[in-house]
Amino acid sequence: MKTVVKTCSLAILIMLGFSITASAQAGRKADKDTKTWRYEIEGVGIGTQGTYLVKVWSYSKKPDVALDQAKKNAVHGIVFKGFSGRPGMPGQRALASNPFVEQERADFFKKFFADRGPYMKFVYESGDGSVAAEDRMKVAKEYKIGVIVSVNVAALRQYLEDEGVIKGLASGF
C-alpha cells in the first residue's frame, strides 16, 4: 500500500513539474514578445465614461501568446503611442507626453507590465474571448491576432499621475 501511495505521489509531482515548466516557458515567450512591443493599435469606439474600446493587433509565432499579450499591448499603446482617429471615433494622444519616461522609469514599468501586474486593473477583454476569422492572420512565420479590449483610461491616467509617472492635466497651468 505504501509503495502505491509513493508511486502516485511521485507521478503527481512529475506531472506538476511538467505543468509548471510549460507555464514558465510560455511566460518567457510572452515576455520576449512583449519586450519588443510589436503591435498596432486602433480606436474602435468609446465605452462608458473614461473608457476606450481599442483593437490591438499583436504578433507572435504562437497565436495564444499573441492573444495573451493583447491586453498588455493595449495599455502600453494608450500610455506611450496613442492612436489615430477615424470617422465617428476621435484619435487619442499618448498619456505620457515625455518620450523618455519608459526608460527613465524602467523599474516602475517592469513591475507594472509584469504578468498579472497592475496594468490588469485597467484593461478588460471585450466580447467572449474568441477571435474572429478575419482577425487571425498568418504573416510569414508568425501570427497577427486582432483583439478588441476595453481600457479604463481615466483610472489609468489617475494611477500614473498618483505614481508620479505622468503629469496631471492641470499641472501645465
Joined together, the cell numbers standing for residue 78 give 494608450
Exposure on the CB side of residue 124, measured as CA atoms within 13 A: 12
| Domain boundaries, given as residue ranges, for the chain | 30-172
pLDDT (tens digit per residue) in 95-152: 999 999 999 999 999 999 999 999 999 999 877 667 787 888 888 889 899 999 999 9
Strand residues in the chain grouped as ranges (E): 39-46, 51-60, 123-125, 136-139, 142-152
Angle between helices 2-35 and 63-76 (to 10 degrees): 50
151 is written with which cell numbers? 481600457
Q: Which grid cell sits at 57? A: 493587433
Reported as a single tens digit per residue, the pLDDT across 78-110 is 999 999 888 878 889 999 999 999 999 999 999
pTM score of the predicted model: 0.77
Longest dimension (CA), the chain: 77
Q: Which comes out higher in pLDDT, residue 113 or 15?
A: 113
**pLDDT bracket for residue 19 (50, 70, 90):** very low
Q: How far is CA 35 from CA 45, 93, 109, 156, in A?
A: 27, 22, 11, 21
